[in-house]
Amino acid sequence: MISKDIENRIIKYFTQSADVEDLDVLNNWLVDDKNQKIFKSYVKTHFSINFAMNNSEFDKVKEKLLKEINKDKKQSSKIRMLSVLKYAAIAIVMLGTGFWVMQNYKDSKSLNVVTPREDAITLELGNGEKQIINEDGSTQIINANGNVVGDKKGNQLIYDRSNKEHELNTLKIPNGRKFEVVLSDGTKVYLNAGSTITYPTVFEKKDPRKVKLEGEAFFEVSHEEKRQFIVSVQDLDVKVYGTKFNVNNYYQDSEVEVVLIEGSVGMSNTDSQSKKNNEVFLKPGYIGIFNKNDKGIINKKVNTDLYTSWMQGELVFRDTPFKKIIETLERHYNIVIINNNEQLAEEKFNATIELNHETIEQVFKYFNKVYQIEYQIIENKIVIN
């Protein structure tokens, strides 16, 4: 049994009269596995009634359960994929039987979708040799001399602490992928889509531990009092002694962002021609922003969850120019987006996108529905008019 309040909110949801509060209450209620089973039964009942009353309404019911559940809360102008989507989808697949299969088959013939490219993760060894890294299974990491320096397990490279052969490796993560690497000192690095990291297979005992990053990564640095850890990004060094932080340094961005979760980091300008070489220290909960043009560094307090949400499979945009949103979507979905609307490029939007549940088609249907952004899918590209 469920409370009358929850039952009323479920009914409001299916009758398209639920407000923001109703959606939040239902989303929290569905965290419990038992409640998910209850909700499934409501989905089945709702689906059966609508389908039995009028077969011509099938498409509307299907659209509603698969997509309207993902309807954004217009008051806050964001996409929010509620966890209920997967349960609604399961129920529909179970109940639709032959009609569902036939209808889906017909729809797929005419559906205009974007197929993401599938590029490989590559590891470049010290001698320039490149290896393809598959995310399935396990294998050994062999260096340029043919010796084992670590292992690959699933979506993670793990370097051996006992290895004594020093050489630089470069791990390149293509668009549409994420990957992890555990360095020889135990430091964990979570790499976002479209990122490249260069690091030694083993760190020298007397020198600082130094890696080079292009793109975005979250670091959990293994603490060592005598050896500093340094992330080098263009003309900036991020100096660390043991901490958790996020670095965003994509080549097309005019700024480098360093967000500190815990510990302490210092940001230093390494450009010898610049007059701004003072080190700026960050406290947990702060972001440091390095301007690539004037080499200045500023810091301010932020909600760090907004900058690390990519690790949980979310893209969070707050007051973000549309051109920046496009770049991020291209990177994470590994697709091409062409924007022919120059005025739209500088307009700012708020959105939260769950990458594991929302297709790029769903994302753009949202932008069309809420912001009236016109687009077409042409030759596997999204073209904005």
pLDDT digits (tens, 9 = 90+) for 235-271: 999 999 779 999 999 999 999 999 999 999 999 998 7
pLDDT at 88: 41
Q: How many C-beta atoms lie closer than 10 Å to residue 277's C-beta? A: 12
Higher pLDDT, residue 273 or 194: 194
- Single-letter residue type at 168: L
- Single-letter residue type at 332: H
pLDDT digits (tens, 9 = 90+) for 133-170: 988 888 899 888 888 999 999 999 999 988 888 899 99
Q: Which residues, in sequence order, are CB contacts of 211 under 8 Å at separation 6+?
A: 183, 189, 197, 198, 199, 230, 231, 232
Domain containing residue 317: CATH number: 3.55.50.30
Asked whether residue 108 carries a pLDDT value surpassing 70, the answer given is no
Asked whether residue 330 carries a pLDDT value surpassing 70, the answer given is yes
pLDDT at 382: 95
Higher pLDDT, residue 356 or 46: 356
Q: Is residue 115 part of a domain?
A: no
Q: What percent of the chain has pLDDT over 70?
A: 79
pLDDT at 358: 92
Q: 220 with 291, same domain?
A: yes
- Which helix (H) or strand (E) is 92 found in, with range? helix 84-110
Q: Is residue 42 part of a domain?
A: yes
Calpha distance 282→201 (Å, rounded): 29
Asked whether residue 43 carries a pLDDT value surpassing 80, the answer given is no
pLDDT at 275: 60
From 222-231, 261-270, 274-283, the region with the lowest mean pLDDT: 274-283
Q: Is residue 51 part of a domain?
A: yes
- Domain span holding position 83: 4-110
pLDDT digits (tens, 9 = 90+) for 164-203: 888 999 999 999 999 999 999 999 999 999 999 999 999 9
Query: What 3-state DSSP class applies to 352?
Result: strand
Calpha distance 287→299 (Å, rounded): 5
Calpha distance 246→286 (Å, rounded): 11
Q: Is residue 138 part of a domain?
A: yes
From 43-57, 76-90, 127-141, 296-310, the region with the lowest mean pLDDT: 76-90
Q: Is residue 116 part of a domain?
A: no
Q: How many structural domains does the chain have?
A: 3
First CA to last CA distance, the chain: 51
Q: 127 with 274, same domain?
A: yes
Q: What is the mean pLDDT of the chain?
A: 82
Q: 47 with 174, same domain?
A: no
